[in-house]
Each structure stands twice: as C-alpha cells, then as structure tokens.
A and B are shown apart, each in its own frame.
Chain A
C-alpha cells in the first residue's frame, strides 16, 4: 500500500504487471538467450541482473525524456547508441571492480546491447510514455529479469556445482549434475519456470480452450 501511494495507481499497476503477467521472460519470451547463458551460478546471475536493470533504467530515462526529439525514422539507431553507451559503462565497471565475474560473464556483458528486453521496452513503452512511468517500468522489468535469473541459477548452481554463491552447501561426494551446468539444463529449468508461471497467472485457461 505504501508503494501504491508513492507510485500512484498507474505506476503501481505497471510495476505489478511487469513482474507478473507481463513478465519479460515468461510472458513475452524476451531475453531468453542471456537468461540461459549466465544463469549457471548465482553470482553471475546477480551481476547480470544488476547490469541489465541499470541499463534499462538509464535507457528509460534518456529515451523517455528525449522522446519528442527522436526522429521516427532513426529511432532504432538512437536506442542502440543509448543502450550501447550504458553497456560500456557496465562493462568497464565490472572490469574495474570485479574482474572475476567479468571474466565469467565473458561476452554476455557486451551482449546486453542486443538483449531484447531493453530494445523491446524502449520501442514499446519508453518512447511513448513519460519519464516517471518509464523508470517504474524499467525497474519492474529489471526485477523480473533478475529474480528469474537468480531463481534458475540457485537450482543450477546447487545441482551442477554443489555450491551456493561459491560456498559448498551439499555433502561431500555429491554427484554433480553435469547437465545442469550446461545450456540444456537451463532450457529445462526455464521451461518448467514458464510452465509454473503460466499455470499461476492464467489458471490453466489454455487447456480449457481446447
């Protein structure tokens, strides 16, 4: 209720829908490639989620405040330049302050540029809405992306490496599920996650339609 008062009814609705019904990964199917690639350990997932959230918010501010000046024909290149600038900032920040995570994430930090969530939200939302709503939407999508990544990474890291955030949580002699540290494991878990979220949000309405 505090949130609702603070953000206003429309802002609260956007925040709520962004992490539930309009979830970027579960409902729209955006950003799946990076979700599969960097959800192998929790630390990577948190770093990636934070990076994407930062780029989302920054892009939301820039695009929504410049939206009346962006020419219709050159809008995609405008998004690209904005996103790329912030991605470079994220990459340099990671390089400077946590080289290990930067190394583990490899090319995927730079590939935030092509993350469909950011482009998709810029095209669908920021370019037509004000700064306040855009930032709320960006935060909402960032949270949704991050919690999905972390949830998948928790399962993958425990099963695949026997650790959580680098600390061993399983007994000695734990048989490592090699498949979980590879991409197929992420596919299965993401599939299950989408299945669960669809069942919760839609109440199995798809089956009744048949």
Chain B
C-alpha cells in the first residue's frame, strides 16, 4: 500500500500531469478516501460522507446486477462497461475543462442507467444515452449535487424518445441468451396486460358472446372473479379465449369443467414476476433482490423509507380502487406493484437524495404524487410504463415542494 501512496504523491508533483489532476485525485480518493473536513459550520460528527453513500448504493445494487446477468446473459456486463466508459469519459472531460474534482456520483449513475435498459439495447444506444444523461442531466447544472433531474433517468428518457423502435419493442425472454437482437420479441407483463385487456372483456360477471363475434376473449385478474363468472349458469365458454393473471385465477379456471384447457392461457404468475422470470428491463425484473437491496439501504440510513413506502402505497391504493371500477384500464394492485420498473424506481431512483425533497412532509408528497402519476400514465396513455416519467416530472417539482413545506413549517411570527 505504501508504494501506491508514494506513487500517487509523486504523481501530484509531476509538472506535465498538472492538467490531469482531477483523475489522480479521483484515484486517490477511491483508494484512500479523503481527509478533507468542512471548513465552516455546521460540523456534523459522523463519518457518513458522499463516498459511503455511493458505495452503499452500489453494494445494494450488486445483487440486481448479478440477477440480470443470470437472467439475460453476459451481454449485461458489456452494457454496464460501455455505460461506465462513455459516461466516465464525459465526466473526466468536464472535470478537466472545468478544473474541478471528479465526483463519485457517476459510479451510481453509470450502474443504474444500464439496469433500466432493455437487455437487447444496442451498445451504441447505451453510449448515447449515458453521454446525454451525464451531460444534460448533470454537468449542465453544475455536476454532482446540483442536478435537478436524475441523470440516469434523463438518459433513459432521451433514448426512449429518440429510438422508440429499439427501446420499447424488443424484450428479451429471460434465459434466452442468443445475442441476435431481433430473435425474440416478446411483450413485458405490463404490455401483455394492456393489450389483452384492450382486446376483450375484463372480469365480466357473465361470459356471453354472440355466435358470429370475431374476437371472443376474456381476462380474469383474480380467483374470485373466475368463480363469480363460472357460477353464473348463463356463461358460455365455447370458443372463448380465456386469459388469467396469476396462478390463483389460472388454477380456478382450469378446474372448471366448462372451460377447455386449449382456450386457457396464463399471462404470468406473481411468483415469476417476483423472481424475475418475465421479460423487462435488465435490472428491474428480479424484484425480490431489489426489495432486499432497498431495505438494506433504508436500514443503512442511506435512503429514506418515506418515499418508497408512500410511492408503492399510493400505487396500491389507487390500483385497488381503480381496478374495481375501471378494470379495462387499470391493472390489479399487486400486479402493478410487481410489474415494470416500479419497484426499482421506488427503491433506487425516487430516493436519490439530490433530486428528491429533504423535508419529511415533502418526501410523502413526492412519493404520493409519483404514485398518482405512475398509475395515470400506465392506465390512460399510450405508454405502457410510467415510472420514469413520473419520477422525472416530480424531480422538477422537488424544490417547490420543499419551499412550500418550509413556508408552512416556519411561518414568520406574527407581530
């Protein structure tokens, strides 16, 4: 270790390397940490600094990375490498031109960004996205700690809008390691639900189709709905395609005499969603690992429980109420929680300390608003997934939320 120390100290002195000081500084800080202290009050006596924040988040993300490699193959590693290299280059260039230090913040952006991409994403698109996110999402606003929007989400949104065909059509089936990008085109669970619900009836109390009707299909989202419908003697299941969400509804329907097995399809089971055996963005599919990582961050006091809890809670309640009245548009609550990028977004992106409110009331407000927007975008727009959009929209409102909370909390005394 002493060899490296003295080498680094020598590197600082080399006159030709003065321009590259930020790079040496970054290597030094990563290897040895910093002994810089705050120069002015307030002094907080705790050894939590930006680096511990960052390393804990990365630690919490590693299981998700491992899971995505397991499900989608080693291409995931290549995507992460490209993300780090392209984004890191932008970071280094800005540090050298602006003559400031390289911040560790990029280590998180560079890892979170690839995890929200589809596994079939071409490498050059990854590079464009991360360069755009780092540049316009972060460096334009003055670097780590000053950004308004989550840089990873800015990059993801940019390539989503720029290349809709690449970003939302091709989803790799888990365990399908063939690297041809157009080999497998399957829909994500959210997409499947949306298209199936649009095409037919959802949770009807009676299945009645006319003889000549072209598209006879029904979607059941719970065992209770299946039971209610099958108990009705007027239901006719001849030639009606039946789709089920979750194992409960599927088993119930399979048991029923009048439903033919060949007409019955299980869209997905909740267990598969939880484990990650369904197509989706690389790091978002294995929810169980994400939940564990998120809880780890909460216990380490790196992220705050208020935003994820209020976010997920709002989605659950809204979906519960909404699914009862508008089953055609709004998916059932448990499915909404475990589908798409919601879990990942709530645990790792909405909790970003830079772009979310710092007041407690503000955090609840942020989470609830994100939840409302997510359900609205998922249910009533052309987009299948609304987590990214809702978090980015609420990022823009973060300063306002904090301002309003502080205004109410610290009202000037009446004179």
Q: Hey, what's the 0/1 contact readout for B152-180 against A, CB within 8 Å counting as 1?
A: 00000010011111100000000000000
* CA of A207 to CA of B142, assembled, Å: 11
Report yes or no: B136 in contact with A180, Cβ–Cβ below 8 A: no
Partner of B163, one of A178, A185, A188, A207: A178
* CA of A175 to CA of B163, assembled, Å: 7
Report yes or no: B162 in contact with A177, Cβ–Cβ below 8 A: yes
Query: Which residues 124-179 of A sit at the B interface, judged by CB distance below 8 A?
Result: 175, 177-179
Report yes or no: B165 in contact with A175, Cβ–Cβ below 8 A: yes
* CA of A47 to CA of B181, assembled, Å: 41
Report yes or no: A179 in contact with B162, Cβ–Cβ below 8 A: yes
Query: Which residues 174-202 of A sit at the B interface, judged by CB distance below 8 A?
Result: 175, 177-180, 182, 184-185, 188
Which residues of the partner chain A approach B164 to less than 8 Å between Cβ atoms? 178
* CA of A182 to CA of B136, assembled, Å: 18
Which residues of the partner chain A approach B136 to less than 8 Å between Cβ atoms? 188
* CA of A182 to CA of B164, assembled, Å: 13
* CA of A81 to CA of B194, assembled, Å: 55
> Interface residue tally of chain A, by bracket?
10 to 19
* CA of A178 to CA of B161, assembled, Å: 7
* CA of A188 to CA of B166, assembled, Å: 21
Chain B residue at smallest Cβ distance from A188? B136
Which residues of the partner chain B approach A175 to less than 8 Å between Cβ atoms? 163, 165-166
* CA of A177 to CA of B128, assembled, Å: 11
Measured CB to CB, the closest approach of chain A to B133, in angstroms, equals: 12
Chain B residue at smallest Cβ distance from A195? B140
Give the number of A-B contacts (CB < 8 Å): 18
Which residues of the partner chain A approach B158 to less than 8 Å between Cβ atoms? 179
* CA of A1 to CA of B163, assembled, Å: 48
Measured CB to CB, the closest approach of chain B to A183, in angstroms, equals: 11
Which residues of the partner chain B approach A180 to less than 8 Å between Cβ atoms? 162
Measured CB to CB, the closest approach of chain B to A2, in angstroms, equals: 38
Which residues of the partner chain B approach A184 to less than 8 Å between Cβ atoms? 161
Which residues of the partner chain B approach A188 to less than 8 Å between Cβ atoms? 136
Which residues of the partner chain B approach A182 to less than 8 Å between Cβ atoms? 161
Q: Hey, what's the 0/1 contact readout for B83-120 against A, CB within 8 Å counting as 1?
A: 00000000000000010000000000000000000000
Which residues of the partner chain A approach B165 to less than 8 Å between Cβ atoms? 175
Which residues of the partner chain B approach A185 to less than 8 Å between Cβ atoms? 162
* CA of A177 to CA of B166, assembled, Å: 11
Which residues of the partner chain A approach B162 to less than 8 Å between Cβ atoms? 177-180, 185
Partner of A179, one of B98, B161, B166: B161
Pick from A178, A179, A185 the residue with the most CB of B within 10 Å.
A179
Which residues of the partner chain B approach A179 to less than 8 Å between Cβ atoms? 158, 161-162
Chain B residue at smallest Cβ distance from A180? B162
Measured CB to CB, the closest approach of chain A to B388, in angstroms, equals: 15
Measured CB to CB, the closest approach of chain A to B232, in angstroms, equals: 48
Measured CB to CB, the closest approach of chain A to B125, in angstroms, equals: 8
Measured CB to CB, the closest approach of chain B to A174, in angstroms, equals: 11
Measured CB to CB, the closest approach of chain B to A171, in angstroms, equals: 14
Query: Which residues 325-373 of B sit at the A interface, judged by CB distance below 8 A?
Result: none
Measured CB to CB, the closest approach of chain A to B382, in angstroms, equals: 14
Chain A residue at smallest Cβ distance from B159? A179
Which residues of the partner chain B approach A178 to less than 8 Å between Cβ atoms? 161-164
Measured CB to CB, the closest approach of chain A to B185, in angstroms, equals: 16
* CA of A72 to CA of B259, assembled, Å: 86
* CA of A188 to CA of B161, assembled, Å: 13
Query: Which residues 49-87 of B sit at the A interface, judged by CB distance below 8 A?
Result: none
* CA of A50 to CA of B331, assembled, Å: 54
Chain A residue at smallest Cβ distance from B135? A192
Measured CB to CB, the closest approach of chain A to B156, in angstroms, equals: 13
* CA of A190 to CA of B157, assembled, Å: 19
* CA of A51 to CA of B24, assembled, Å: 54
* CA of A188 to CA of B162, assembled, Å: 12
* CA of A180 to CA of B98, assembled, Å: 28
* CA of A175 to CA of B164, assembled, Å: 10
* CA of A207 to CA of B97, assembled, Å: 12
Chain A residue at smallest Cβ distance from B161? A179
Which residues of the partner chain B approach A177 to less than 8 Å between Cβ atoms? 162-163
* CA of A173 to CA of B166, assembled, Å: 12
Measured CB to CB, the closest approach of chain B to A189, in angstroms, equals: 11
* CA of A185 to CA of B132, assembled, Å: 12
* CA of A207 to CA of B99, assembled, Å: 11
* CA of A207 to CA of B136, assembled, Å: 18
The residues of B with any CB-CB pair to A shorter than 8 Å are 98, 136, 158, 161-166
Question: Which 3 A/B pairs are nearest by Cβ-Cβ distance?
Answer: A179-B162, A179-B161, A177-B162
* 10 pairs of residues in contact across A and B, judged by CB atoms under 8 Å: A175-B165, A175-B166, A177-B162, A178-B161, A178-B162, A178-B163, A179-B158, A182-B161, A185-B162, A188-B136
The residues of A with any CB-CB pair to B shorter than 8 Å are 175, 177-180, 182, 184-185, 188, 207
Q: A177-B163, A184-B161, A207-B98 are in contact. List 15 more A-B contacts (CB 8 A).
A: A175-B163, A175-B165, A175-B166, A177-B162, A178-B161, A178-B162, A178-B163, A178-B164, A179-B158, A179-B161, A179-B162, A180-B162, A182-B161, A185-B162, A188-B136
